[in-house]
Structure 1
Amino acid sequence: MKKKCVLFVLCMMFLVGCSEKNEEPKKPIIEENIETESNIIVEEETVENNDIQTENAAPTKKEVLAMRELVLDGMSDDEKERLTENIKVANLQMEYAYLNDNIFDKLSDKDSLYWNYFDQKGDIQIGWAYEGNKKTVMNEEGITESEFYQKYGEPVMEYNRFDGANFVELIQDMQKSVQNESLSADLQQLIDLTNLAIETHEVEYANEIYKILHDLDYFLLRYGIEDVGKYTKDGSVVAKYYGVLMVYEKDKNTSSNER
């Protein structure tokens, strides 16, 4: 069933899945509104700002399994499962928005209504619905875009269960069970970046959140090339490695010194 998902672009919204919309806009002309299906990986062309390949060589399956065992040491099975599942859901939902809805381009506007997903919980406005050609009406009546929306637009609302603050609280709660300092530092990166995104509405912070979630999911808590890649038509997204995790920094520095 088609659902309107909470975006997080903020991961915070992605962790709670989707909520159904009770009423559809009266016309299909809707700005700043996205429809997705949860937990689906779709391979499409990526936006330029997130398609930069790193020079870091991706860790092998053997390295991923060894690092996973190391950084999860001391955690209970339930704690490991909770961390793995929450990171997986956040990554997949953000990945879908990135691949299919050009979410980072939308968030590049600091005034975008999509930032409401970071800032508010409950009923939030995510766009405008209206009839006719906006630009034509604006030119004919000599009105601004804001005046057009006020006169002809209807707010498109969504129920947002989690905002940025809720996501930070969730990561902090999971962080308490982590015994490894490097993994704790990676979770702290998510916390700090989310707070910065809320404070500044800078898209770069949302983009960095996605990269950390991607590497945590596909190159630590799971081995995405095998666990996910075999279910996709194009495994290039899953196989992409950003090299942003602190857990691999020690090994990277050691290898560099040896060279």
Structure 2
Amino acid sequence: MKLVVEGLEAAHGRTQALFGVSLELEEGGRCCVLGRNGVGKTSLMNAIMGVLPTRGGRVELDGRDVTRAQPWERVRMGLGYIPQERTGFGHLTVAENLRVVLESRKDGRRSEVDEVLDLFPALKPLLKRPAVFLSGGQRQQLAIGRALLTKPRILMLDEPTEGIQPSVVAEIEEAILALHAREGLGILLAEQYVEMALRMADSYVVLEAGSVVARGATAELSAHDAERLLAI
């Protein structure tokens, strides 16, 4: 599935957050959105997902304008989103969190939960634990697992490494890249951790004050150059 974002503008009340942001994610592509805190990365992800209303521009999925579509409609079309807050149902167990997403689909198979657990085996002994008692890394793995159960064609991750220990970051990175290689899953990643972002993506855009200030292929961008861009 191809994602096209063109001239996107959005605001939080009277405060403009995005100023004509454009990017493209080809089918099966991997793009990272780089930038410091407060430059508009989360606003961009929320606007693409339909959580934040837009004031201008458009969002297209496979040539279909979904700018006014509801978030759940975008999920059905193939967008999977893991927000920075890693929200879930804290009072439900890990197993219940996974099951409630699966049961929301008419074509859901119980074996799909097993596939998620094979991807994140650390969750297996925690199936009866309420999600509120999970560590940050465990919550992130659960959040990704929940998103995968919606059968996305593009997976959007907002700051997936924030507050997570390096060993778990490596496990998450490995799992996502394995999914991409096996299923051609498109990835849109908003991240400050430059080295991980460059490893996981083949293209990048850099945001500053809600605008794109640089873009290109990650193969042509060193970590040093990326750090320099983020210092603008």
TM-score, reference length from structure 1:
0.24
Instruction: Point out the structure with the larger strand share.
Output: 2
Instruction: Point out the structure with the larger helix share.
Output: 1
Tell me which structure has the larger Cα radius of gyration.
Answer: 1
TM-score, reference length from structure 2:
0.26
